[in-house]
Amino acid sequence: MKPDTAHFRESAAAAIADPRLQSALAKLPGGLVAQRRAAVSALPEFEALRDEARAIRDATLANLATHLEAFEAKATAMGSRVHWATDADEARRTISEICSRANARLVIKGKSMVTEEIGLNAHLESSGLDIIESDLGEYIIQKRGESPSHIIAPAIHLTEADVDADFRAYHTHLDQNRELGTPERLVAEARAVLREKFLSADVGITGANFLISETGSSIIVTNEGNGDLTQILPRIHIVVATIDKVVPTLNEAMTLLRVLARSATGQDMTAYTTLATGPRRTDDLDGPTECHIVLVDNGRTEMLASDMREALRCIRCGACMNHCPVYNAIGGHAYGWVYPGPIGAVLTPALLGITETSHLPNASTFCGSCESVCPVKIPLVSLMRTWRERAHDQGPRTLTARILSKLWSAAATRPALYHLIACFAVAIGGALGRANGRFRALPLARGWLKHRDLPAPQGRTFQQLWKETERGVPR
């Protein structure tokens, strides 16, 4: 999809003012967040598993080339064809060549973030193919011409009523007076419509949660079973995965799966976890006759060589966005590209460059909730801070911002001067604010005070308090 990260501030403001979006987002804390909490408290070793998951990811990244070569060798031995793509363009061309060699007309897809990242659907459509997303959430947003607003719950920004209206508009071959209205009926309708597509598709495209070197398998996890129908029924299966998805052994993948499902939806295991290894065997009664695996770099090797390396540990559970107060307030679309929330604020600048994405690392209060739930302990706050510093060093700044920043650094590097200014502010502020204990309006701070009050100073400066106490602790 085409990024629109430069208008983050406008998009975020619009999202906050959108009552329909706000009512959809209101379900997040009681849903995914509460479910994760219950799953985590049911497993006493969860914290130890997070450390283990982090260690597995770090060790794999430290030896990534070897593990990828081992994966390629085993996958090839099992009958898959492995392709390598340095960037989005090469990945798209590789996939569209496989489709055109097979004279494909209809492509069905399982949910895959990397195919969103490389803009696969638009590319395949422009070469004359029909593309149908089969994950229910993805199907809904594909019909709306939208992008996912969450990496595991792509239609989380929509309500039941939205989907009802959409299905009536899209499924015009069905009786216009039919009863819909409940999630059960809507799901049944989508199931019937998509079943036809599964049966007539020539190519099935899925992502991969993991690639296993030991067995040459790709692993996908789904709850709907759509990913499985996608890789069983069409005659060609294409797996698209970035190079960081490789895991040496099944046992290590299991540790990652144990933290993945619990962090994502609070399940101990999703309904379907499938290891797919090559095309159908001579005595098999079903399965694709060709299996292709497209390994995509698209910026990962640059991240590996940079100080953003730790973000490559990500296993795409979505917990960071579920727990992010900013994501909860504005939803995923405001971030302007495929990866929203804290991981998006780190990943998007790494993949698209900081110039166009400089607002994203600011979309955080640095409360640290994201880090505290990340199953592979990515230091999201410090990575966002690194991007803020880089945006500050490289980005264009207004004259006001430059003057204020100069003034601030002049005061902050001179403790005596700082103290003098603080004493002045405390004295004046304390006197003026004594009546209410807080300010509702102040000159030059209209924006800040629009949504909150400023507490009035309480008579002494921080430096005075610090001196009077034992390093901040009362004597």
Partner 1 sequence: MSRYAILARIRAANPNPQSPPHEAKPAPASLASTGADAVLRFRTAAEAKGVTVVDIDHPAELPLAIARTLSAANLRADAIRLNDPALIGLPWSDANLTITRGAAEPHDMLALSSAVSAVAETGSLLLASGPDNPSSLAFLPETHLVTIARSTIVGTFEEAFALLRTRYDNSLPRAVNIISGASRTGDIGGRIVQGAHGPRQLFVFIT
Distance CA 239, CA 80 (A): 10
303 or 381, CB closer to partner 1? 303
229 or 426, CB closer to partner 1? 229
Distance CA 373, CA 47 (A): 10
Chain-centre distance for alpha carbon 415:
42
For the CA atoms of the chain, what is the radius of gyration? 26
Options 275, 411, 422, 454; binder of partner 1; rule CB under 8 A: 275
Options 254, 420, 431, 445; binder of partner 1; rule CB under 8 A: 254
Stretch that binds partner 1, among 8-16, 265-273, 370-378, 467-475 (CB under 8 A): 265-273
153 or 426, CB closer to partner 1? 153
Spell out the residues 6+ positions from residue 193 whose beta carbon is closer than 8 angstroms to its own.
171
Options 78, 193, 352, 454; binder of partner 1; rule CB under 8 A: 78
Whether the CB-CB separation of 8 and 334 falls below 8 Å is answered with: yes
Distance CA 42, CA 40 (A): 5
Closest separation in Å from C-beta 309 to partner 1:
8
Q: Does 283 bind partner 1 (CB under 8 A)?
A: yes
Q: Which two tokens stand for residue 43?
A: 């497993």
Q: Does 305 bind partner 1 (CB under 8 A)?
A: yes
Whether the CB-CB separation of 369 and 323 falls below 8 Å is answered with: yes
Q: Which two tokens stand for residue 290?
A: 């060709």
43 or 174, CB closer to partner 1? 43
Distance CA 181, CA 160 (A): 7
Q: Does 240 bind partner 1 (CB under 8 A)?
A: no
Q: Give the H/E segment covering residue 258.
A: helix 250-264
Give me the torsion for CA of 126, 130, 136, 142, rounded to 10°: 30
Binders of partner 1 in range 89-118 (CB under 8 A) = 90
Binders of partner 1 in range 176-195 (CB under 8 A) = 183-184, 186-188, 190-191, 194-195
How many residues bind partner 1, per CB under 8 A? Answer: 98
Q: Which two tokens stand for residue 345?
A: 């604020």
Distance CA 422, CA 156 (A): 46
Options 27, 178, 406, 434; binder of partner 1; rule CB under 8 A: 27
Closest separation in Å from C-beta 124 to partner 1:
20
Distance CA 10, CA 474 (A): 45
217 or 364, CB closer to partner 1? 217
Binding mask 402-441 for partner 1 (x = CB under 8 A): ----------------------------------------
Options 280, 316, 397, 460; binder of partner 1; rule CB under 8 A: 280
Spell out the residues 6+ positions from residue 302 whose beta carbon is closer than 8 angstroms to its own.
350
Options 62, 407, 410, 432; binder of partner 1; rule CB under 8 A: 62
Closest separation in Å from C-beta 219 to partner 1:
9
Options 22, 144, 168, 301; binder of partner 1; rule CB under 8 A: 301
Q: Does 342 bind partner 1 (CB under 8 A)?
A: no
Whether the CB-CB separation of 8 and 360 falls below 8 Å is answered with: yes
59 or 417, CB closer to partner 1? 59
Binders of partner 1 in range 149-178 (CB under 8 A) = 153-156, 159-160, 163
> Residue 102 carries which side chain, given as an amino acid letter?
A
Whether the CB-CB separation of 244 and 232 falls below 8 Å is answered with: no
Closest separation in Å from C-beta 364 to partner 1:
25
